[in-house]
Amino acid sequence: MTVNAETHAGGHTWQSLPAAQQPDWPDQAALRDAIAELESYPPLVFAGECDALRHRLGAVARGEAFLLQGGDCAEAFDAVGADQIRNKLKTLLQMGAVLTYAGSVPVVKVGRIAGQYSKPRSKPTETRDGVTLPTYRGDSVNGFEFTEEARIPDPQRLKRMYQASASTLNLVRAFTTGGYADLRQVHAWNQDFVKSSPSGQRYEALAREIDRALNFMNACGVDPEEFKTVEFFSSHEALILDYESALTRTDSRTGDLYDVSGHMVWIGERTRQLDGAHIEFASKIRNPVGVKLGPTTTPEEALTLIDRIDPNREPGRLTFITRMGADKIRDKLPNLVEKVTASGAQVVWVCDPMHGNTFEAASGHKTRRFDDVLDEVKGFFEVHKELGTHPGGIHVELTGDDVTECVGGGDEIFVDDLHQRYETACDPRLNRSQSLDLAFLVAEMYRDQ
Ligand SMILES: O=C[C@H](O)[C@H](O)COP(=O)(O)O
Ligand SMILES: C=C(OP(=O)(O)O)C(=O)O
Ligand SMILES: [Mn+2]
């Protein structure tokens, strides 16, 4: 295999390289048909929007803005109703408002939304009561239901992924530009949270300050229209390369390739092999790109990733999403940040405090402790403070619904509560109140920084 081969029969350099975590599609003819159809579909996003996000992330890399990236671990086809999308968006916007005020910097808002349908897994199979079946790999590949039939990878699902992404993005665009996301409304939701929940009451002082700031702007005659719309971007893990390749198009303005399935895509911890297809793919598209970095990442790997994906050292092009675990971040992160900074690269550093802190409760539920999540973010801020670098943002798995998937938080969820509303198809998400709790606590950290 050569990394630099310019093309292969399918057309793109990455298509001739080994790709980890791809489904074993049993029906290759059906796969080819699905890909051909996807290739004929219109883009979900415009290349110029991807450029805009890259510029916003450039400001994050320079320390002038903060990134809030969040949403489901795995979106599901049967969870794209208006209520679920609205609740998720509402939660992210509320978090964004708190962080904007406390940090006094723009918050770049990016959803794990409208495309987050594919999951890398640690095991190829799952066994329940002595029955072993292929593992669930996300709604884009197979069904969550534990039956032989549901678990067969079906390429028709790639088309449903496109359709579900399109309708989700359509509603998100409507909400964010049509007046629903008005900052004054978002602030009123935050006031509700502060008033009506025990965990919210701790943040009364901050909410009052925001209220005063809004009244002040009002009194100064700031045009209320300014508050009406909000910029919001989509992102997902670029995992299933047949899908991402079919949605990768040449931009007529520049001749560059863009993956028009979302504004930003990231490469996961399990697929970031330097000689693999995913990194080659990431290096060829002009979208802003993220790469997850777990605790085994060496500085040499990080530097090679920069050379591959960001050879021109363009702030905003590359985001490193570190997911070390609360017990490792203070040990592992400093060396990476130091070496990357010394190389002259200006990457965005983002903390994913979820994926290094997963454990299985006695009940069998995969869960995370709110305190571990918070402690990893704290460690992230400490390391950057010590090194004089910018803690660029957080990347979290969350939902706007009152699920019981992570333990702890101000409105505490106990291990015994997990079964009550455990709805995730993959990893445990912070619920609405845990997400807001986190935003207020991170806001305090950002301020102290
Ligand atoms: O976000 C996803 C999960 O962390 C990943 O799919 C691994 O989960 P698993 O260990 O249950 O396979
Ligand atoms: C699989 C994920 O993360 P990671 O690649 O960091 O394990 C994820 O973000 O859902
Ligand atoms: Mn996950």
3-state secondary structure 397-410: EECCCCCCCCEECC
Q: Which residues pair with 107 in a beta bridge?
A: 66
Q: Is residue 63 part of a domain?
A: yes
Atom of ligand 2 nearest to the CA of 269: 5
* Count of structural domains, the chain: 1
**Comparing C-alpha atoms, which of 70, 57, 49 is closest to residue 346?**
57
In whole angstroms, what is the distance from residue 427 CA to residue 402 CA? 15
Sign of CA dihedral 382, 387, 392, 396: negative
What pLDDT does residue 2 have?
32
ipTM value for the complex: 0.98
Residue 202 lies in a domain: no
Q: Is residue 208 part of a domain?
A: no
pLDDT of residue 438: 97
- Per the domain annotation, does 7 fall within a domain? no
Q: How far does the centroid of ligand 1 lie from the alpha carbon of residue 290, in Å? A: 18
| 198 domain-assigned | no
Buried b / exposed e along 286-322 (16+ C-beta atoms within 10 A): bbbbbbbbbbebeeebbbebbebbbeeeebbbbbbbb
| Residues at CB less than 6 angstroms from ligand 2 | 73, 120, 237, 268-270, 292, 323, 355, 427
- The Å distance, Cα 425 to ligand 3 centre, comes to 10
**Of 322, 381, 328, whose CA–CA distance to 350 is shortest?**
322
Q: Whose CA is nearest to atom 6 of ligand 1?
A: 121
Rounded Cα distance between 44 and 249, Å, is 11
Name the token pair of 397: 């798995």
* CATH number for the domain harbouring residue 321: 3.20.20.70
Counting from 1 in the atom list of ligand 1, the atom nearest the Cα of 355 is: 4
Which positions of the chain have pLDDT values less than 50? 1-9
Predicted structure pTM score:
0.96
Cβ partners under 8 Å of residue 41, min gap 6: 162, 247
Residue 38 lies in a domain: yes
* Three-class SS of 23-55: CCCCCHHHHHHHHHHHHHCCCCCCHHHHHHHHH
Separation of CA 321 and ligand 2 centre (Å): 10
Give the other-Cβ count within 10 Å of 182's Cβ: 17
Ligand closest to the CA atom of residue 268: 2
- Domain extent at residue 402: 14-181+229-448
- Output the pLDDT for position 10: 58
Residue 442 CA, ligand 2 centroid: distance in Å: 21
What is the C-alpha separation between 376 and 383, in angstroms, rounded? 11
Residue 411 lies in a domain: yes
In a domain, 190, yes or no: no
CA 121 to ligand 1: nearest atom: 12
Which residues sit with their C-beta closer than 6 Å to ligand 1?
A: 73, 119-122, 355, 426-427
